[in-house]
Amino acid sequence: MTILPKKLPPSILALLLQLTAVALVVLTLRQFSLHPAPLAFALLCGTLAAVLSRIAGIARWWLFIQFAFAPALVLMLALDIPPGFFLAIFLVMLVVYWSTFRTQVPLYLSSRKVWQALETLLPAEQPFTFVDLGSGIGGVLTHLADSRPCGRYHGIEVAPLPFLWSWLRIRFGGYPHCSVRRGSLWDCDLSQYDVVFAYLSPVPMDALWNKARREMRPGSLFISNTFAVHNQPPHESVTVDDLHRSTLYSWRM
């Protein structure tokens, strides 16, 4: 059963449910003039937040986070760690993950075996253009530029630190046929590319498919690592013998 709007990103929904749980616990305790210890108070809040999250239909793996959040906060405060430490961790997470709370596409890297399988899907011999949508730290681009030098490789990455890392890697690694820019993949004109590659998450795949259908040229190739598209069987799929048994799904437009 879902009682809150589905459109809210899960992290925002989770935060709202935490705040609701705290407010309800505070009001109830006041009502009965109770003053529990901080950890007991946090456990009450966590339990209620988990129950509310279950009712709201949030994914099950959030329930533990919802339960543990307030108690973990109390325990960490008891350790008396300087606040600057948490600020520093927050800032590092911010530049690495940036808008993941909204996009629901975090940074994780495709394996070397995926890069090698990708090589076999690229056009043989003739020059071609390739884009990695959400190019992370640029591993796909630099590997392919080394192994298939007849291509022109472009990346688009929204998160600042991965973008900077890939830019430096390309700039100082000697990759004249590679470029990366900072921005959103949704602003990228896919009609410029012969091959479009994405390794994202299940969340944006349907919208990305619609964008690819609208913009990609007939005969060009759309490849998704791991994440398929609903009701769109791929023209080819290649399963890779890596840790995650990744599958490359490809569609000829």
Chain residues binding ligand SAM by CB under 6 A are: 103, 105, 107-110, 132, 134-136, 139-140, 156-159, 162, 184-186, 199-200
* Closest to ligand SAM by CB, 45 or 141: 141
The position carrying tokens 């986070």 is 65
* 74: phi then psi, degrees, rounded to nearest 5: -65, -45
Nearest approach in angstroms of CB 131 to ligand SAM is 10
* Closest to ligand SAM by CB, 107 or 238: 107
* Closest to ligand SAM by CB, 140 or 145: 140
Nearest approach in angstroms of CB 60 to ligand SAM is 22
* Closest to ligand SAM by CB, 132 or 194: 132
**Which is nearest to 145 in space by CA: 169, 161, 165?**
169
Nearest approach in angstroms of CB 153 to ligand SAM is 12
**Which is nearest to 200 in space by CA: 238, 251, 156?**
156
Which residue's Cβ lies closest to ligand SAM? 134
* Closest to ligand SAM by CB, 150 or 207: 207
Nearest approach in angstroms of CB 80 to ligand SAM is 34
Nearest approach in angstroms of CB 176 to ligand SAM is 21
Nearest approach in angstroms of CB 31 to ligand SAM is 45
* Closest to ligand SAM by CB, 47 or 104: 104
Residue 223 in contact with residue 161, Cβ under 8 Å? no
Q: Using alpha carbons only, what angle is made at residue 158 by residues 155 and 163, rounded to the nearest 5 degrees? A: 60
